[in-house]
Amino acid sequence: MGAALEIRNLHVSVEDQPILRGVNLTVQQGEVHALMGPNGSGKSTLANTIMGHPAYAITAGQLIFDGEDLLELETDERARLGLFMAFQYPVAIPGVTVANFLRNAINARMKSQDPESKGIGIPAFRKLMLDKMDLLQMDKSFGGRYLNDGFSGGEKKRAEILQMAVMEPQIAIMDETDSGLDIDALRVVSEGVNTLSGPELGVLVITHYQRILNYIKPQYVHIMLDGQIAESGGPELAVHLEEHGYDWLREKQNGNGK
């Protein structure tokens, strides 16, 4: 069995406001999960917490990746273990080309695995990047542009997917929480996930968009409400959600609570 991301009874606060209230979820390498839920339910918080954003304070629970306690690790250490997050709004790094950035990222990982490593050579890196661009049917000129600087929404998504392809993570979290995100962007992400998913990659797609099944085929669907996973199931759960919305779940949750 491959690596797994295990989220156990996770409680997270932002500025002393509890947002996640006991989340349990396991994503195995090779699986595709969709996490859905209304705005403000805590989906983005979960993504950022997994990656170790300093603004999110874990008050209880555990995060385990490939047997390692993530709470002991910095963001970059988590990434070097094989965890990846595709950002909802990737930030621009002016003056740093996509290629230069990716090569540095690969080298950082190689050097953490083997302190003696000299990193990836330029020809080998070039081939790797161009191969991945081919796979994703991307324009080759992309590598020479400054990272996310002046990129359109769709281009930013493409850049995220390219990074995921090059970094070859074991588990990737796609934070696509914003309902305002245009459908093209979601399509880019979904196509990327479809192209890259396989036995080596586990994916957690976080989305607000209920018709996600038009784009990807998750084996598992989870619904988050008020900082907890309220329901888990197969793709049929997304179909149900598309037809009935979230109200039935709220009622069910309240009913359970009383």
Partner 1 sequence: MSDAEHLEGIREQYDEQYGFRDPDSYVFRARKGLDAEIVGQISEMKQEPEWMRAQRLKALEIYQSKPVPTWGPDLSGLRESDIYFFVKPADQEARSWDDVPEDIKRTFDRLGIPEAEQKFLAGAGAQYDSEMVYHQVKKELEAQGVIFKSIEHGLREHEDLFREHFGKVVPATDNKYAALNAAVWSGGSFIYVPPGVQIEMPLQAYFRLNTASIGQFERTMIIVDEGAYLHYVEGCTAPTYSTDSLHSGVIEIVVKQGARSRYTTIQNWSDNVYNLVTQRAMVYGDASHEWVDANLGSKVTMKYPSVYLMEPGAHGEILSIAFAGRNQVQDAGGKAVHIAPNTTSQIISKSICKNGGRSSYRGLLKVYPKAENVKSTVVCDALLLDEISESDTYPYIEIENPFVTVGHEATVSKVGDDQVFYLQSRGLSEDEANAMVVNGFLEPLTKELPMEYSIEMNRLIQLQMEGSIG
Residues that bind partner 1 (CB under 8 A): 51-54, 74-76, 78-80, 84-85, 87, 90-91, 93-96, 101, 104-105, 108-109, 112, 146, 163, 167
Residue 164, φ and ψ in degrees, nearest 5: -65, -40
Number of Cβ within a 10 Å radius of residue 131: 12
Looking at the Cβ atoms of 196 and 213, the one nearer to partner 1 is 196
CA 13 – CA 78 distance, rounded (Å):
20
Looking at the Cβ atoms of 60 and 108, the one nearer to partner 1 is 108
- Nearest Cα to 177, choosing from 48, 58, 63, 53? 48
Q: Are 75 and 168 in contact (CB under 8 A)?
A: no
Q: What's the min distance (Å) between Cβ of 254 and partner 1?
A: 36
Residue 180 in tokens: 């305002």
Q: What's the min distance (Å) between Cβ of 48 and partner 1?
A: 9
Residue 104 in tokens: 């540095």
- Nearest Cα to 59, choosing from 13, 22, 114, 8? 13
Q: What's the min distance (Å) between Cβ of 117 and partner 1?
A: 13
Alpha-carbon distances of 42 from 105, 227, 255, rounded to whole Å: 29, 5, 21
Q: What's the min distance (Å) between Cβ of 65 and partner 1?
A: 14
Q: What's the min distance (Å) between Cβ of 159 and partner 1?
A: 11
Looking at the Cβ atoms of 158 and 230, the one nearer to partner 1 is 158
Q: Are 39 and 224 in contact (CB under 8 A)?
A: no
Looking at the Cβ atoms of 95 and 180, the one nearer to partner 1 is 95
Q: What's the min distance (Å) between Cβ of 211 and partner 1?
A: 28
Looking at the Cβ atoms of 87 and 125, the one nearer to partner 1 is 87
Give exposure, 211-248, as e/b (b: 16+ Cβ within 10 Å): ebbebbebebbbbbbbbbbbbeeebebbebbeeeebee
Looking at the Cβ atoms of 80 and 208, the one nearer to partner 1 is 80
